[in-house]
Chains A and B, each alone.
Chain A
Amino acid sequence: MTQMLTVMGARIIEILQLIGGIALFFLRTLRALVPPKYDARETWRAFYKVGVQSYTIVILTAMFTGAIMVIQAGGTIQASRATSFVGWAAGFTVLSEIGPVLIGLMFSGRVGANNTAELGTMVVTEQVDALRTLAIDPMNYLAVPRFIAMIVMLFLLVALGDLFALLGGAITSHVMLDISYSVFVSQVIDAQLLDEYILGLIKGSLFGMSIAIVSCYFGFTVRGGAPGVGRAVNNSVVASAIGILAIDLLVGIIHHAVR
């Protein structure tokens, strides 16, 4: 019993240390943002990589999400003959909730994991040390460009993903519920989902921020050669997922309170 408590206690301390480390890293990143002296070439490279790595999976995820939402809502809606709600039902959950969360999770699995692996490899092959001997601050050179790129790109990807989610929803409605595209579109427009759309975009940016911080943190703190990189990638993806869900909950609560 006491042994179990000791193990649990140690684990809790470990987790608190981790959260502290990540928070500190977040502050250091923010401090490195001003004055803006990040490397233009690295930033461009980060944007390019993040975009190329993620747009296909984001589009696919979004289309499936839209389709699934229509199928989920479809049964109830058909039974109650309220087919005019299908656009609203699909739009509402996808834009504000499922869309950003699923896109964020996919993004974390792809871009975040890749980022941790890349930075971790740079640590174990001493590239980060080499940068420092060349008087380059790894925070400015590596962390800040990735931070900016992930926030901006996840914002854009959620915006893009929303369109594809609605497309997926429209196709499914057409095929399964026999609702024409124009009706679906007008339903979505009538539903006045601008609020949800903006909420989704805000969430997307926040998810991008947390994925950037978490994945950079785990990358920079890699120890123990190549096996260490593998472990870090694993931990990074898990921590990012928890971060995404926590932010989603937090934003949901705040949004609810404000309304």
Chain B
Amino acid sequence: MIVAKGVGKSFGGERILSGVDLTFHEGEVVGIVGPGGVGKSLLMKILCGLVEPDEGEVTVFGRSWADLSVTERAKLRERFGMLFQNYALFDFMTVGENVAFPLVQRGDMSAQDVQERVVERLTQVELSGVNHLYSRELSGGMKKRVALARATIGEAPIIIYDDPTAGLDPVTSSKIFNLISDLQRPDSLSLITSHDIERMMPVCQRYIMLYQGGVYFRGTAQEAKQSQDPVLRVFFGGDAVDVGRRTMAGAEGIS
């Protein structure tokens, strides 16, 4: 569904990502993990065509972003649902309007059908009755759930959840991951970035770990835990606190 070949990106002379090769298939739920500031969000934006890589290319459904015209890109982006790390809820719209927006924008449903879908989806994320509120009136956890509802309402074949639990308490985080699991459809591809491996474990089938500017590991959590590599072991709920953990903690917060 998505193939990335040799993707690299720098900002102001600083190389954030380089030589990233990835392939994602339909029906997968993949966790993209790594310390804060490593470029997880950036990679997600490159995959969905929001950011152009300096090197390499990304193809989605066999079409490379680089080859597409502006209109074609817009069309291809409709195949993505996206939950942004910073919520990205439109602050000039109510919750209901936010969630409805992808459907309204697509324009293939009657207003009444849209409303029904919105109510249904908000109930699913346990937020019924907040349609008329604005995002500034919501708590962080509620905003994430609204964002979740908006990302999934279009039932796009590819859904990207960028740090869906950043800044949330553990209970709310688990709830969010459960919701993601409930909303997963068998034929869609979901990518979830997070550093909360423990709680994403029940949802993800495999993981890509970014570290030091590239793909450091790919495989299942089991494989990561059994690895001899100290960085991997620490990151995947390993045992001892060592240098690896400290460097990662140092990088946290840069996002």
- In the complex formed, the residue of B with least CB distance to A128 is B88
A63 to B101, CA, bound (A): 44
**In the complex, what residues of A have CB within 8 A of residue B50's CB?**
129, 132-133
Residue contact B86 to A133, C-beta cutoff 8 Å: no
Q: Interface size on B (CB < 8 Å)? A: 22
- A194 at the B interface (CB under 8 A): no
The answer, among A122, A126, A127, A135, for a CB contact under 8 Å with B105, is A135
- B65 at the A interface (CB under 8 A): no
- In the complex formed, the residue of A with least CB distance to B75 is A135
**In the complex, what residues of A have CB within 8 A of residue B88's CB?**
125-127, 129-130
Residue contact B92 to A133, C-beta cutoff 8 Å: no
Residue contact B75 to A124, C-beta cutoff 8 Å: no
The answer, among B70, B74, B75, B82, for a CB contact under 8 Å with A130, is B82
- A11 at the B interface (CB under 8 A): no
**In the complex, what residues of A have CB within 8 A of residue B45's CB?**
129
B13 to chain A, nearest CB (A): 15
Q: Which of B157-198 contact A (CB under 8 A)?
A: none
- B89 at the A interface (CB under 8 A): yes
- In the complex formed, the residue of A with least CB distance to B83 is A130
**In the complex, what residues of B have CB within 8 A of residue A122's CB?**
91
Q: With A45-B92, A132-B77, A134-B102 given, is the CB distance from A125 to B82 under 8 Å?
A: no
Q: Which of A35-52 contact B (CB under 8 A)?
A: 45
Residue contact B105 to A130, C-beta cutoff 8 Å: no
Residue contact B86 to A124, C-beta cutoff 8 Å: yes
- A10 at the B interface (CB under 8 A): no
- A136 at the B interface (CB under 8 A): yes
- B90 at the A interface (CB under 8 A): yes
Q: With A45-B92, A133-B77 given, is the CB distance from A125 to B86 under 8 Å?
A: yes
A134 to B50, CA, bound (A): 11
Q: With A126-B84, A126-B85 given, is the CB distance from A133 to B48 under 8 Å?
A: yes
Q: With A133-B48, A133-B50, A133-B77 given, is the CB distance from A127 to B82 under 8 Å?
A: no
Residue contact B101 to A134, C-beta cutoff 8 Å: yes
The answer, among A121, A130, A135, A136, for a CB contact under 8 Å with B84, is A130
- B78 at the A interface (CB under 8 A): yes
A135 to B87, CA, bound (A): 18
Q: Which of A110-162 contact B (CB under 8 A)?
A: 121-122, 124-127, 129-137
**In the complex, what residues of A have CB within 8 A of residue B91's CB?**
121-122, 125, 127
Residue contact B90 to A130, C-beta cutoff 8 Å: yes
**In the complex, what residues of B have CB within 8 A of residue A133's CB?**
48, 50, 77, 80, 82
A38 to chain B, nearest CB (A): 15
A126 to B82, CA, bound (A): 11
**In the complex, what residues of B have CB within 8 A of residue A132's CB?**
50, 77
- In the complex formed, the residue of B with least CB distance to A41 is B92
Most chain B CB inside 10 Å of its own CB: which residue of A122, A124, A127, A130: A130
A91 to B184, CA, bound (A): 69
The answer, among B77, B78, B80, B90, for a CB contact under 8 Å with A127, is B90
- In the complex formed, the residue of A with least CB distance to B162 is A126
**In the complex, what residues of A have CB within 8 A of residue B77's CB?**
132-135
**In the complex, what residues of A have CB within 8 A of residue B85's CB?**
126
B153 to chain A, nearest CB (A): 11
**In the complex, what residues of B have CB within 8 A of residue A135's CB?**
74-75, 77-78, 105
- In the complex formed, the residue of B with least CB distance to A45 is B92
A221 to B89, CA, bound (A): 19
B179 to chain A, nearest CB (A): 19
- In the complex formed, the residue of B with least CB distance to A134 is B105
A132 to B80, CA, bound (A): 11
B162 to chain A, nearest CB (A): 8
A-B contact pairs, 26 of them (CB 8 A): A122-B91, A124-B86, A125-B86, A125-B87, A125-B88, A125-B89, A125-B91, A126-B86, A127-B88, A127-B90, A127-B91, A129-B50, A129-B82, A129-B88, A131-B90, A132-B50, A133-B77, A133-B80, A133-B82, A134-B101, A134-B105, A135-B74, A135-B75, A135-B77, A135-B78, A137-B70
B interface list, Cβ under 8 A from A: 45, 48, 50, 70, 74-75, 77-78, 80, 82, 84-92, 101-102, 105
Q: Known pairs A124-B86, A126-B84, A135-B75; list 9 more (Cβ under 8 Å).
A: A45-B92, A125-B84, A126-B86, A127-B91, A129-B82, A130-B84, A130-B90, A134-B77, A134-B78
What 3 A-B pairs are tightest by C-beta distance, nearest first? A135-B74, A126-B88, A130-B88
